[in-house]
């Protein structure tokens, strides 16, 4: 007895229309885990690179200082200080070296060199600030010393901008100008950081948990989309107000 060809065709069509195997939650979790591990790996590589850059710049600075090229040493110390990582000691050594160069140059009456070192040190303070500010305790002493040098330079050159002010008034005015640049607000900075991670992390979760294998929405799609939108908004607001 021959098989019914119509029934065979219907069975083939039903098999083709049947949904494929749905990835298990464990497989989806593994995909998310690998994505997070890849992100952490990128951050780790970037941190190690900055740490090595700081060490190399510090070595070049110390070599230049031993050779008597203090201007080149100041430049390289500035590079080493800006490549800050919490695990690296080179930026702290560089900051101390810049302060010592400025102090030594002040004692020798080398105002231009002292101002160069202080400006590099000040640039390093600002370039490493954020949610944490590892060198903020140096800002006020640096500003005070730099303001005094600027006032002395102004008086030595007899610039018309003095406008009858004495040294004390000039130092006070320059110090006020140096203090105009505010540090980022820690609260808004924290909001920006949390918002960024919520935005990026929510995006990963939205892809892996908010959609199924056929790109159809799951029950988790709406709350995860809300997390992405909320994180993006918090990140933008935090950056604007920090």
What tens digit of pLDDT does each residue of 37-49 get? 887 888 788 778 8
Strand ranges (DSSP E) for the chain?
Answer: none
List phi, psi (to 5°) of 96.
Answer: -65, -40
The answer to whether 201 and 230 are in contact (CB under 8 A) is no
pLDDT at 87: 79
pLDDT at 37: 81
**Residue with the two structure tokens 């490493």:** 128
pLDDT at 31: 63
Q: How many residues does the chain have?
A: 242
The residue extents of the domains of the chain are: 51-181, 187-241
Tokens of 223: 């709350």
pTM, to two decimals = 0.66
Lowest mean pLDDT among 15-29, 175-189, 197-211: 15-29
């Amino acid at each position: 007895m021959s098989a019914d060809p119509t029934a065979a065709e219907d069975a083939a069509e039903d098999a083709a229309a049947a949904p494929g195997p749905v990835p298990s939650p464990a497989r989806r979790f593994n995909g998310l885990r690998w994505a997070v591990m890849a992100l952490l790996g990128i951050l780790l590589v970037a941190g190690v690179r900055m740490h090595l850059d700081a060490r190399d710049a510090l070595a070049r600075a110390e070599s230049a200082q031993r050779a008597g090229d203090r201007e080149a040493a100041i430049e390289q110390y500035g590079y080493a200080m800006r490549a800050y990582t919490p695990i690296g000691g080179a930026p702290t050594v560089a900051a101390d070296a810049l302060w010592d160069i400025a102090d030594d140059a002040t004692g020798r009456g080398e105002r231009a060199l002292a101002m160069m070192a202080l400006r590099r040190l000040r640039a390093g303070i600002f370039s490493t600030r954020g949610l944490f500010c590892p060198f903020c305790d140096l800002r006020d002493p640096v500003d005070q010393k730099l303001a005094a040098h600027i006032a002395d330079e102004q008086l030595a050159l007899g610039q018309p901008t003095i406008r009858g002010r004495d040294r004390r008034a000039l130092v006070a005015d320059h110090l006020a100008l140096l203090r105009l640049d505010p540090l980022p607000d820690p609260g808004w900075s924290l909001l920006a950081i949390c918002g960024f991670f919520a935005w990026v992390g929510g995006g990963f979760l939205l892809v892996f948990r908010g959609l199924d294998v056929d790109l159809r929405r799951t029950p988790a799609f709406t709350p995860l989309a809300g997390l992405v939108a909320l994180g993006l908004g918090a990140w933008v607001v935090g950056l604007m107000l920090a």
